[in-house]
Structure 1
Amino acid sequence: MPPTAEALVDLGAVRTNIEVLRDRARNADVMGVVKADGYGHGMVPVARAMVAAGAAWLGTALVEEALQLRRAGIRTPTLAWIIPPGTPLGEAVASDIDLGVSTRWGLDEIAAAARAAGRPARVHLKADTGLSRGGVTPGEWSDVVEAAARAEAAGLLRVTGVFSHFARADEPGHPSIAAQLTAFHDALALAEKAGLRPEVRHMANSAATLTLPDAHFDLVRPGIAGYGLTPIPDLAGTGLRPACMDQFVVDIGDDEARAGEPAVLFGAGDGGEPTAQDWAEALDTISYEIVCRVGQRVPRRYVGGDGEWPDPR
């Protein structure tokens, strides 16, 4: 039986968005963020499309998400940045998944996992520069970078990255942006003083990738922009294109509809259909939530890749 509903995901749009973001990033590489099942679009097919379009890195929130990419055969450098206490890390270390460090105890747990695995772990140290949502605080930063340098000298880990995250980059000109950039430069200086030489420094989210070249460093980390949605609704000329329930009732007034006619909830807007941003404004939320709330029971169908891809689930 055919599905009663489907989410049509345009992988061609995803590739276009990564190409646009690569152009915006100029000399920096692009990390394609595929957390939350690829923002509700399907993590594995989206990750493949992003890599095909030139994404040099992939990013996930959780270790298990990164491991799913490895099990799917995707070997692109991948960062998982949320490591709760007690997370099993052996397979991640063995799979060369880069791990985010936001605390001293987190660093110690990763070092212990590396010792048990018999190979160094790859880590990115996260500096809290003002968001206050994860990251090593300024008062603890010196201790963590010095401990990381000792662990690196002991062969337990390799500090491959140093990163942070903006709080209000979607409000261009907000004074917190400059303050956070200054704090990040200070954090980088202390890391260098401790003897660390990371491969990549990264701070730019979608908004900063689109509007703040000074924040690009070695790598940009756009999330929602990879799916064609902008975190700054009034920002024009981005070149991004949206890549996108089960059952409910709609009052269509005096309009006519026949059984079997398609009903589009949101899309690119080219045909007059609502966009995810339209829904977000109507519901007093953000477009991120709209695309992420299309649940797993709605099968995905992928177009715009090398032929059509079935839903991998």
Structure 2
Amino acid sequence: MHRKHVQWIELSAEALKHNISQFRSLLGKERRLLAMVKANAYGHGMIPIANAAVNSGSDWLGIHSVDEGITLRENGFKCPLLSVGYIPLHRLQQAVENDIRITVYNNETIEKLGDICRSLHKKAYLHIKAETGTYRQGLNESEIIPFIENIERHEGLVIEGISSHFSNIEDTTDHSYAQYQLKRFKKIVDRIEDHGISIPFKH
């Protein structure tokens, strides 16, 4: 038999489930565990990996696009789905209709979502992206409070979380820059809380 590819990856479903269940037990009941399954679970198969994750204790699934979210919904996944990627304005309604949590960092998205939620009589659950040093997407510290105030003008929009992204933490043993980013993130969260604003999830 002629093989098309000479390299392949074999994953142990049982080992994956064990690892996820260990994370779940360490976190405790007050925290949520999100399994990132974007980009076809990084090439390993979104649906089987998502099944293994949810069946082993993952509370949420992370995705990058509306299409990934729709695929998960069509395959019976009812857990919270958080999209960490940019969603184009013309796809936002589909995100709301499919109960996909949305990462936000620009007012254009907020205005569009406000209109959609009024039209559909639905709520959209938002996770604000804070810029701490990756310089790819997100809001600087000085922009956060005005952005939140704009969100609060729209009745159907719910601020559920705030997040950031480490620029490089897995490919190095020097985590000094990651610690710098974490300090910036905590400073942003403190600033938000000093304004009397409570955000349930920080990640």
Correspondence for 1:12 = 14
Deviations 1:146-176 (A, max 9, x none): 212333xxx2211111111112323345332
Q: Distance in 2 between matches of 1:46 and 1:160?
A: 25
Q: Does 1:106 align with 2:109?
A: yes
- Aligned CA distance change for structure 1 residues 100 and 41 (closer, same or farther; 3 Å): same
Q: TM-score, normalised by structure 1?
A: 0.57
Deviations 1:243-296 (A, max 9, x none): xxxxxxxxxxxxxxxxxxxxxxxxxxxxxxxxxxxxxxxxxxxxxxxxxxxxxx
- Aligned CA distance change for structure 1 residues 119 and 44 (closer, same or farther; 3 Å): same
Correspondence for 2:199 = 198
The higher radius of gyration belongs to 1
Residue 4 of structure 1, CA deviation: 7.0
Q: 2:47 aligns with which of 44, 57, 60?
A: 44
Correspondence for 1:75 = 78
Residue 62 of structure 1, CA deviation: 1.1
Q: Assess if the C-alpha contact under 8 Å between 1:57 and 1:77 holds in 2.
A: yes
Correspondence for 2:148 = 145
Instruction: Give the RMSD, CA atoms, in angstroms.
Output: 2.4
Deviations 1:26-71 (A, max 9, x none): 5643210000011111111211110011011110011211121111
Deviations 1:191-235 (A, max 9, x none): 334443222111xxxxxxxxxxxxxxxxxxxxxxxxxxxxxxxxx
Percent identity over the alignment is 29
Indicate the SS of the match to 2:91. Answer: coil
Q: Distance in 2 between matches of 1:44 and 1:194?
A: 41
- Aligned CA distance change for structure 1 residues 91 and 195 (closer, same or farther; 3 Å): farther
- Aligned CA distance change for structure 1 residues 168 and 8 (closer, same or farther; 3 Å): closer
Correspondence for 1:157 = 157
Residue 9 of structure 1, CA deviation: 4.5
Q: Does 1:97 align with 2:100?
A: yes
Query: Once structures 1 and 2 are overlaid, which stretch shifts more, 10-19 or 93-102?
Result: 10-19
Q: Assess if the C-alpha contact under 8 Å between 1:63 and 1:80 holds in 2.
A: yes
Q: Distance in 1 between matches of 2:51 and 2:43?
A: 15
Q: Does 1:169 align with 2:169?
A: yes
Q: Distance in 2 between matches of 1:181 and 1:31?
A: 19
Which one-letter code corresponds to 1:129 in the other structure?
Answer: T
Q: Distance in 2 between matches of 1:109 and 1:82?
A: 17
Residue 20 of structure 1, CA deviation: 3.4
Q: Which has the higher contact order (CA 8 A, sep 6+)?
A: 1
Residue 23 of structure 1, CA deviation: 4.7
Q: Assess if the C-alpha contact under 8 Å between 1:98 and 1:123 holds in 2.
A: yes
Correspondence for 2:183 = 182
Residue 122 of structure 1, CA deviation: 0.7
- Aligned CA distance change for structure 1 residues 87 and 24 (closer, same or farther; 3 Å): farther
Of Structure 1 and Structure 2, the greater helix share is in 2
Gaps of 5+ in 2: none
Q: Assess if the C-alpha contact under 8 Å between 1:161 and 1:199 holds in 2.
A: yes
Gaps of 5+ in 1: 203-313
Residue 7 of structure 1, CA deviation: 6.3
Which one-letter code corresponds to 2:50 in the other structure?
Answer: A
Q: TM-score, normalised by structure 2?
A: 0.85
Query: Once structures 1 and 2 are overlaid, which stretch shifts more, 124-133 or 26-35?
Result: 26-35
Which one-letter code corresponds to 1:50 in the other structure?
Answer: A
